[in-house]
Amino acid sequence: MSLQGSVTPPGDKSISHRAGLFSLLASGICRVANFSPCADCASTLAAVESLGGKVEREGGEVILHGAQGKLISAAVDCGNSGTTMRLLMGLLAGRPGSYALDGDASLRRRPMARVADPLTRMGAKVSTSEGRPPVTIEGAQLTGQRHELAVASAQLKSALLLAGVQAVGETLVIEPHLSRDHTERLLAAMGADIAQAEGGWRVRQSDLEQLPRLRVPGDVSAAAFLLVGALITPGSRVTTLGVGLNPGRVGLITVLQRMGSKLEVSQEGDEPEPWGRVSAAYAPELKATEVLASEIPLLVDEVPILALAATQAQGTTVLRSIGELRVKESDRIAAIVTQLGALGARLWEEGDDLFIAGPTPLKPQGSYDSYGDHRIAMTLAMAGALCGQTLEVADAACAGVSYPDFYRDLEALQQ
């Protein structure tokens, strides 16, 4: 069974989170079109409301009323969303009040000291439960600091920049490798005093004003599953429409092109960020590649689906320094190795590197586990599509964390 047709993926999750959360600090009213319908962004909007922000929904748009930093003390449930929790940590650290942040069992396993520690150096009063959620915050006056991050993480960088727009003095954030810059772009558009400096970003205390309108591009990380499905499934051709093409998010496209696939990318706009269409057709001669540590942040959410593509490529693909994947919604390295391995793929880890030998025909047998991780669930669904079957996957519905209509869109493409 091949995949044929075009799909408009949901609004970008990262940009939707930021639009929602930044409204807490800003003045003005923003009408957001194509706000992500995913469960994670619903957690963000619920958090905004519980902190005193006003959110309305009208004709498919989300209307955010700026709270101008006048927040109410609250206990916030961040659900499964690391972005909600980490960005809120930086945002709330500088607001007067008491806040408690918690989440589901997966979020409770994720590291928060990487955010709490640098915030503490800025004067924040943040405590974690041995480095993990629940997190409590007593708002304090923050002072700008220079931060050199040990990990390339857009969530950590964003938390520190959000603290920085409220801090006295200058805050500088330098990453070991560049990660997505949605926060920097949106803060700049909202009037923040932010600029590139020393290979990173420096920000000063700023008043923020919301854009009157924001149209969120489609989520390229959601599109990625269907595009890879088309590349590896004989006879397929899929076009994804209106997807974000932020350079910090298109590492998968670069790597797949290097592997010999003819992905066609055409940019059709640049507001609020570059966006356009991406088409993929069956690529029978994919070649293995080495993905460098500096490329990983540009495709960090696409590693599971890239690993599936690599099982069909000639030679051994190496993904370097993917240790961060151990602390995502699941231990994604373990999940990839066990679940693709159970399908017959030849792959193994060495330290923080992942090796995938191909091409290997996949042979479904028995049942599979998403580990409650949306990106693992969608990767397994695409492996099933390649084999012309629907795999039995525990908690397959968790795809709704980022892509609620994923199974419907996949079914519509199957011919």
Catalytic residue among 12, 77, 219, 301: 301
> Cα torsion at 178, 183, 184, 185 (round to 10°)?
110
Piece of 57-65, 153-161, 223-231, 243-251 that binds ligand S3P (CB under 6 A): 153-161
CA of 30: how far to CAs of 294, 335, 352, in Å? 35, 39, 42
Q: Is the dihedral of CA 207, 211, 217, 222 positive or negative?
A: positive
301 is catalytic: yes
| 154 counts as binding ligand S3P under rule CB under 6 A | yes
| 300 counts as binding ligand S3P under rule CB under 6 A | yes
| 301 counts as binding ligand S3P under rule CB under 6 A | yes
| 153 counts as binding ligand S3P under rule CB under 6 A | yes
| Nearest CA-CA partner of 244 in 20, 4, 10 | 10
The correct pick among 80, 155, 206, 370 for binding ligand S3P (CB under 6 A) is 155
**Which CB, 14 or 317, lies closer to ligand S3P?**
14
Task: Please indicate if the annotation marks 110 as binding a ligand.
Answer: yes
Question: Cis before residue 10, ω within 30 degrees of 0?
Answer: no
**Which CB, 14 or 289, lies closer to ligand S3P?**
14
Task: Please indicate if the annotation marks 328 as binding a ligand.
Answer: yes
Residues 176-215 that bind ligand S3P (CB under 6 A): 180
Cα–Cα–Cα angle for 236, 238, 241, rounded to 5 degrees:
180
Task: Please indicate if the annotation marks 301 as binding a ligand.
Answer: yes
Residue 274 Cβ vs ligand S3P, minimum distance, rounded to whole Å: 17
**Which CB, 300 or 399, lies closer to ligand S3P?**
300
The total of other beta-carbon atoms located within 10 Å of residue 191's CB is 17
Residues 323-382 that bind ligand S3P (CB under 6 A): 324
| 398 counts as binding ligand S3P under rule CB under 6 A | no
| 321 counts as binding ligand S3P under rule CB under 6 A | no
Residue 184 Cβ vs ligand S3P, minimum distance, rounded to whole Å: 11
Task: Please indicate if the annotation marks 155 as binding a ligand.
Answer: yes
**Which CB, 174 or 357, lies closer to ligand S3P?**
174
Piece of 101-109, 152-160, 314-322, 340-348 that binds ligand S3P (CB under 6 A): 152-160
Task: Please indicate if the annotation marks 125 as binding a ligand.
Answer: no
Residue 181 Cβ vs ligand S3P, minimum distance, rounded to whole Å: 10
Task: Please indicate if the annotation marks 332 as binding a ligand.
Answer: yes
The correct pick among 3, 14, 252, 259 for binding ligand S3P (CB under 6 A) is 14
What's the rounded Cα separation, in Å, for the pair 358 and 348? 12
**Which CB, 20 or 276, lies closer to ligand S3P?**
20
**Which CB, 180 or 364, lies closer to ligand S3P?**
180
| 83 counts as binding ligand S3P under rule CB under 6 A | yes
| 386 counts as binding ligand S3P under rule CB under 6 A | no
Residue 353 Cβ vs ligand S3P, minimum distance, rounded to whole Å: 18
| 23 counts as binding ligand S3P under rule CB under 6 A | no
Residues at the annotated binding site?
A: 13-14, 18, 82, 110, 153, 155, 301, 328, 332, 375
Active site residues: 301
Binding-site ranges for ligand S3P (CB under 6 A): 14, 17, 83, 153-155, 158, 180, 300-301, 324
Residues at the annotated binding site for 3-phosphoshikimate?
A: 13-14, 18, 153, 155, 301, 328
